[in-house]
Amino acid sequence: MIKILIFFFIITTLHASDTNLESKIFKNIIHAIVQKEHPTIYIHKKLNSLSNHPGGLNISSKCEDADLVILSTLKGLPQKCQGKLLFGSRYSHLKNSNVIGSFFWQKGRPNILFYKDRLKKNQIKLDNSFDKYIEK
Amino acid sequence: MKGLFLILVMINILFAESIDTLLKDYKQESDLSKQTKSESAGNLVVFTRDDLERMQVETLSDVLKSLRFFSYQENRLGQADSLNQDPITYYSKSIRVYLNENELFSPIAGSGLILFGNMEMDFIDHIEIYEGFPSFDFGVEPATMVIRLYTKTAKHDEGGRVKAIIGSYGTNKQNAYYANSTEDLSYFIYANSLKNNKEQYEHDNETLKKDRITKRFYSSIENDNHKLELHLLKTEGDAFIGSIVGNIPQETSEESSYASLSLNSKFIHDSLKISLSYLKINSNFSYTYDPLKPVFIPLDHTTVASINSLDQNINEESFTASIKKEWEIGLHTLSTGVQYRYKHFNLTDVTFNIPTPPITQAYFREDIYSFFLQDLISLNENNVITLSIMNQIYDREGSVKNPNTLQLRAGYIYTDKAYISKTFLSRQEFASEPYMTISPHYGNADLKSETYTSLFQEFSYKNEDSLSKMILGYGYTKNLPILSSAFIMENSDEKIEAFTAALEYTLFFREKDKLELQASYVYVSSVYQGIEDTNHYNYVIRSLNSYLKFDIFNELIINTGRSHIDSGYNYSAGVKYQVNPDFHLSFKGVNIFDTALNKRYLNKFSPTLNYVEVPTEDRRFFLSMEYLF
């Protein structure tokens, strides 16, 4: 029993690479938005961090099955994704009012940004740890 | 079983990293140097973006001055020349400087440290320095040291920054950059204006100055496969003691303009790289001497003239094309490349205060054809062997020697999670660079290529709290270019031996603090008969501490063992205050106690040797602010 706990502790605190950490941040955000144990996401078009470290997520090849669409680009977004919850990976993705938030690099540091009105419109309540990343 | 699951979930929640911590760790782990550095390419020193920011690095010389073995020095004109052998104007042809994939170089001087060793670092993300005759796939010609500068890009730096700095002697700098990206393209634009004023020194009733104004523009535009870069530079200022030995000039000036355009493309999963680049440099040097204190210049190798003024224009132009391909075949990573470089230079436009016969130049054009083949053999997870061969064919216009130089390099690298051992054995030939062969002052078109044979061994051990390194090197040089007693460049008959040793220890503590200790030793046997051997010792103690909103930097560089020069103690310190994430104020002092190592320059060799001695770095203080938007 103790061995299992120690193993679990080590696994959860292991030093992580940048793609692994990026994936962890995305997963935290996805869980906060979708609030399901195993959310289903669709990646448009390419996001190595999540594709390589999907643990705990179902990555669907069909947009219509997804709880949330993660964007690497807005270009060529399938018609079937319209109406789905969209989350960006660039600051510029937020220009599209259907994108509820984004995780992106700016000014030399990683940032997370949600817009309050867009969260409200989609009836999403994030936990308190995201308060500082919500713009009113 | 259900109970166990609940406990595990609770522990996981308890120890799960908060989003704030994850973002902080992610920023650190995403440092771009982790993606660009190559451990197998040489003995590596990395200055990460975090290092550069917390050390308040303003110019490249700020990091070169603490480098093991050969620290930063300037030549007679106040230009960067870390291997300086005064009174030869430039001796660092084997130190190659790159900005991203493009070499920054002067066609006539052989490499770019002379123009870019003092470059401001405000648009640079991180610096990698490869010592010990590094890998051949970096460039067209061989190197003893490669300095790779990587610019900021829109990938991490979308948005903009403005920065202003004021400092001692009226120094001031203003610069701004802006980066943005669209779905298909990203771009980065940077502009800088620097007035870099330094201490003035009196000698023989004349004033020696090194003040300089530099304006720079850099921009890049890129997509997934192509990157186009434009780099413009204009600089004007004093030329310190000037290139001529004999008397101290009353006035000196140097003006240079540099323009380069380059295109780098990647295909087939980045395994095929094609680069094209063009550069043009115009320089003007002028010296004026007291009519009662003229200097003598050689009109040819047998006659000299007494002059009171000199005005020289130098034009340089170059085009470089390269294609490199990499294959992974079983255990082998094979890379090969063909590179071509065209150079044109003209330094015959010289006028003196008296009529003199026109200066002749042995050749104006040089074409270099270079080929390399490298095999990185991954024997298993821990053991790698690297084998490389490179050849250059120099085609020099006119009836001068056309060097054909060969480089061979073998390396063995052992890595596991804690230990790294690197062994590099190399034999390299360096063609005489144009300046030493065609200089009107001491050029010799018959100079032969010099050869270097070297063996470097590096051991490093890393654990969670520390990194320890030991680097040992032995090498010998034949045909080293030296200045003869007749003041003409010639190849030394001596076999010149060198031994280097360095010990380094870095302690990481608390969240972001680190303490670095370095000790290095260099022995070089005498270049001239009757002159003593070189025995240099360098020590560096550096600490970087972060406390609340403050980043504090302390650095002591001790240089001892230089003949006829007192030991130098260069203490620098700085503090950076983060008013908020977007607004920072900084204060920094360099050579605070005015006890840094001095450098001697030959003023007169008759009737007795007379030198000018000045610090390698002046005591200066800087106050700066930066705002990100």
Express each pLDDT in B568-600 by its tens digit: 999 999 999 999 999 999 999 999 999 999 999
**Cis check: omega of the bond before B607, within 30 degrees of 0:** yes
Best CA proximity match to A92, nearest among B185, B181, B27, B179: B181
pLDDT at A11 over 80: no
Q: Do A5 and B15 lie within an 8 Å CB cutoff?
A: no
The pLDDT mean for chain B works out to: 92
User: What is the percent of chain B where pLDDT is above 90?
Assistant: 78
- Tell me the mean pLDDT in the region A39-43: 95
| Residue A51 tokens, joined | 């594709």
Residue numbers in B near A133 (CB within 8 A): 19
pLDDT at B317 over 50: yes
State pLDDT tens for residues B538-557: 999 999 999 999 999 999 99
Q: Which of B8, B25, B29 is facing A8, going by the closest CB pair?
A: B8
CA atoms within 13 A on the CB side of B564: 13
The per-residue pLDDT for A16 is 53
Judged by a CB distance cut-off of 8 A, whether residue B159 touches chain A is yes
Q: Comparing B9-23, B49-63, B378-392, which segment has the lowest mean pLDDT?
A: B9-23
Task: For residue A3, name the pLDDT band (cuts at 50, 70, 90).
Answer: very low
DSSP helix/strand/coil, A80: helix
Q: How far B27 CA lies from chain A's nearest CA (Å)?
A: 6
ipTM of model over 0.95 = no
The per-residue pLDDT for B441 is 72
State pLDDT tens for residues B261-306: 999 999 999 999 999 999 999 999 999 999 999 999 877 667 888 9
Q: Comparing A7-21, B1-15, B338-352, which segment has the lowest mean pLDDT?
A: B1-15
CA B614/CA B568 separation, integer angstroms: 12
Residue numbers in A near B19 (CB within 8 A): 25, 28-29, 112, 129-130, 133
Q: Comparing A2-6, B161-165, B168-172, B256-260, which segment has the lowest mean pLDDT?
A: A2-6
Q: Do A112 and B11 lie within an 8 Å CB cutoff?
A: no
Fold classification of A17-135 (topology level): Rossmann fold (3.40.50)
The per-residue pLDDT for B301 is 66
Q: How far A52 CA lies from chain B's nearest CA (Å)?
A: 16
- Tell me the mean pLDDT in the region B501-506: 98
Mutation target among A5, A17, A105 for the B interface, most CBs of B within 10 A: A105
The per-residue pLDDT for B12 is 47
Residue numbers in A near B183 (CB within 8 A): 73-75, 92
Chain B: residue whose CA lies nearest to A111: B23
Task: For residue B5, name the pLDDT band (cuts at 50, 70, 90).
Answer: very low
The per-residue pLDDT for A82 is 85
**B80 DSSP 8-state letter:** B
The angle, 0 to 180 degrees and rounded to 10, between the axes of the packed helices A2-13 and B2-15 is: 30
pLDDT at B446 over 90: no
State pLDDT tens for residues A103-135: 999 999 999 999 999 999 999 999 999 999 998
Residue numbers in B near A7 (CB within 8 A): none
The per-residue pLDDT for A1 is 43
Task: For residue A45, name the pLDDT band (cuts at 50, 70, 90).
Answer: confident
Q: Which of A5, A25, A91 is facing B19, going by the closest CB pair?
A: A25
Q: Do A18 and B30 lie within an 8 Å CB cutoff?
A: yes
Judged by a CB distance cut-off of 8 A, whether residue B15 touches chain A is yes
Best CA proximity match to B469, nearest among B426, B516, B512: B516
Residue numbers in A near B34 (CB within 8 A): 18
pLDDT at B423 over 60: yes
Q: How far is CA B593 from CA B61, B80, B435, B568, B584, in A?
A: 19, 23, 38, 11, 26
Q: How far is CA A119 from CA A23, A90, A103, A104, in A?
A: 22, 18, 15, 18
The per-residue pLDDT for B16 is 52
Mutation target among A109, A114, A129 for the B interface, most CBs of B within 10 A: A109
Q: Do B34 and A107 lie within an 8 Å CB cutoff?
A: no
Q: Which of B15, B157, B629 is facing A9, going by the closest CB pair?
A: B15
Residue numbers in B near A110 (CB within 8 A): 23, 26-27, 30
Chain A: residue whose CA lies nearest to B124: A108
Q: Do B26 and A18 lie within an 8 Å CB cutoff?
A: yes
Taking the alpha carbons at both ends of chain B, their separation in whole angstroms is 53
Domains within chain B, CATH numbers bracketed: 8-628 (2.40.170.20)
State pLDDT tens for residues B483-500: 888 888 999 998 999 999
Q: Do A24 and B152 lie within an 8 Å CB cutoff?
A: no
Q: Which of A9, A21, A108 is facing B157, going by the closest CB pair?
A: A108
Residue numbers in A near B30 (CB within 8 A): 18, 21-22, 110
Task: For residue B3, name the pLDDT band (cuts at 50, 70, 90).
Answer: low
**Residue with the two structure tokens 């026109």:** B358
